[in-house]
Each structure stands twice: as structure tokens, then as C-alpha cells.
Amino acid sequence: MTFSASQIAMLIQGKLEGNPDAGVNSFGKIEEAKNGQLAFLANPKYEEFLYTTEASVIIINESQELKQTVKGTLIRVPDAYTAFATLLTKYQEMMTQQLSGIQQPSYISKTATLGEQVFVGAFAYIGENVVVEKNAKIFPHCFIGDNVKIGSNTIIHPGVKIYHSCVLGKNVVVHAGTIIGSDGFGFAPQADGSFKKVPQIGNVMVEDNVEIGANATIDRATMGSTIIRSGAKLDNLIQVAHNVEVGHNTVIAAQAGVSGSTKIGDNVMIGGQAGIVGHINIADGVKINAQSGVSKSIKQANAAVTGSPAHDYTSTLRSQAISRKLPELEKRIQELEAMLKQLLSEKV
């Protein structure tokens, strides 16, 4: 399908510079794009390619100043990266909206309720009293347990397992291999050294507009709910333990782990491989650097921490800078000691 530059400009509310009839039918990186493709420039590091790209249409920032002539048609917007993301989202929606109906073989309980334009892929299992709202897409080899609710326009990618009684809101995306609602890690130590399992009778609640990456695990609550608030984005290979609460618009990068009953505020940013202990609170807007180990609550909003155990980010950088100078400082101390020793011997 081909779109003109004027159609694209209208969709992203941009200003056209060049041929409004220039057509594109695919996307390309600005350094590789060919004729008939759409590219974008958001990072100044790639500005040189703006003048060499063969792309027919390029989305750029309003503030971008041209140093040379550009071959393609330009569309200026306040934020090129966001505009390009909007286009990709629309394109993806067009592709997924074409999917509807129920592929066979699949199992759908007679007590399940499916809304309009729902897609169920082959080898999917949908249990008792499940509710799947309109335009939701459940891809092949998914397991949807009893009493699960899936909101409208939610996409469940292949191989996802959602255990019983969990609730997913609208416009949620869950990527392949993720497990939602497996038992929390609850075991009571016994006098003989063994561990008695504590039944996990809660659920997981995922609010609207959440995206969860591939092969993530979100444990059900012991009682109540493990909650992922609206707008949160979780990367691949993340572990969220029982009764955790992840705040609105919080982002967590790959291989991070959050222990049980920890409450994470809104707009928090957690780097890859970070580890957070249980039963603590993370204030709104906190930034946790990659591979940090957070062992106590962070009460100051918008704080930035790094290291293990995690400390203030700026102070840690200063400490690291000083530690790199330790060999030089040691040498200077030895020189000063030698000078002091000589001065004392001269006085004697």
C-alpha cells in the first residue's frame, strides 16, 4: 500500500517541504533508505545522512536547520521520533486489524465470552468464564486460564500463559513467552528445616496501555493483587514478584527483578539487571541505574541512584573518579613522607 507525503503529513500534523505527491510504501533507516521509503532524523549524530539518503520522504524536527539540499520531501514536526513512532503504530494497527475469527484447532470454553472482531490463533486454549473484549488478538499457542478478563484492543502474542483470574486492561501488549499469574515465591520455614508452601490465592491486574516484553514473569499475589499500573512498560526477561505494585508510566529494562510487596511509584526508570529487594517503596520519578542493587526504600522523588548497594548517582560518580586517582595519590603521599623524613633528619 502506497501513501503520499501529504497524507502522512496530515496524519502526524506536520509541515510539508517538497513534493506533496511523493509516495512511500515501506520504512527505512535514514542511512539505508531507498526510493519509495519513509525515513526520519531525530538524532543529530545522523545528520550527514539527511543529505545522502535516497528516501522519498523524511520526517525531521521543526528546529532542524538545513546545511545542504535534501533530495526527498521533508515533513517537519515538533518531535520526529514521536511522529515516526505514531506512524509505526498506525501501520501495526492496520496489520493486526486484518486478523479476526477463530483458527482451528483451538479450544474455547462454552462459558467464555468473545467480543466483536476478536482473533484467536490455532492451538490457543481459552478457559471457563473468560471474557475477551472487542478487537483483542490472541495468537497461537496461548493459554488463557479460567475467569481471566482481557480488555479491548489487547494483543497477546504467541505462547503467552495467563493463569486463572488475572485481569488485563485495554490496549495492552504482551509479547511471546511471557507468563502472567504464576505462583508467588511464598514458603514458610519449618522447624525441621523444610519449607511449607503458602498458597497464592490472589491475582495479577494489568491496567490499560501497558506493554510487557517477551519471556517476562509476573507472579500472582499471595492475597489481593500484583498490579501493573496504566502506561507502564516492561522489557524482556523481567521478574515481578507477588504483591508488587508498578506505578503509572514506569519503565523497567531487561533482566531486572523486583522482590515481593515492593511498591514502585509513577514515572520511575529502572535500568537493566537492577535488583530490588522486597517490602520497600520507591518514590515517584526515581532513576535506578543498570545493575544497581536497591536494598532500602528511596523516599526522595526524582532521585537517581547507582551501585550495589545503591547510592546517590552523582556522589557515586565522584567516588569512582577519586578511586581512579588512588595510585597517583599513593605516590604523592610516599613522596611527602620521604620529604618529611628528610626535613626531620636535618633538624636533628
pLDDT digits (tens, 9 = 90+) for 229-245: 999 999 999 999 999 99
DSSP 3-state assignment of 107? strand
Report residue 249 as a C-alpha cell. Answer: 508510566
Report residue 89 as a C-alpha cell. Answer: 503504530
Distance CA 55, CA 33 (A): 5
The answer to whether 242 is a known catalytic residue is: yes
Query: Using alpha carbons only, how large is the chain's radius of gyration in Å?
Result: 27
Last residue of a domain, one of 31, 63, 97: 97
Report residue 82 as a C-alpha cell. Answer: 514521536
Q: Are residues 172 and 144 in the same domain?
A: yes
Q: Are residues 118 and 255 in the same domain?
A: yes
Q: Are residues 51 and 120 in the same domain?
A: no
CATH number at residue 110: 2.160.10.10
| Under-50 pLDDT residues of the chain | none
Choose, from 141, 157, 175, 242, the residue flagged as catalytic.
242
Q: Are residues 73 and 172 in the same domain?
A: no
Distance CA 243, CA 185 (A): 11
Q: Are residues 130 and 216 in the same domain?
A: yes
Domain that holds residue 324: 316-347
Last residue of a domain, one of 97, 130, 159: 97
Full-model pTM: 0.81
Cross-strand pairs, 204: 226
Distance CA 207, CA 151 (A): 9
pLDDT score, position 93: 76
Structural domain total, the chain? 3
Distance CA 201, CA 40 (A): 49
Distance CA 337, CA 107 (A): 82
Q: Are residues 93 and 115 in the same domain?
A: no
Q: Are residues 49 and 192 in the same domain?
A: no
Q: What share of the chain is helix, strand, coil (3-state, %, to 5)?
A: 20, 30, 50
Q: Are residues 186 and 168 in the same domain?
A: yes
Q: Which run of H or E residues covers position 287?
A: strand 287-288
CATH number at residue 78: 3.40.1390.10
Q: Are residues 196 and 268 in the same domain?
A: yes
pLDDT score, position 348: 62
**Please, are residues 269 and 290 in contact by the beta-carbon 8 Å criterion?**
no
Last residue of a domain, one of 97, 121, 152: 97
Q: Are residues 150 and 175 in the same domain?
A: yes
Q: Are residues 133 and 246 in the same domain?
A: yes
Q: Are residues 178 and 220 in the same domain?
A: yes
pLDDT score, position 309: 84
Strand order in the sheet with 113-114: 113-114, 131-132, 149-150, 167-168, 203-206, 225-228, 245-246, 263-264, 281-282
Pairing of strands 125-126, 107-108: parallel
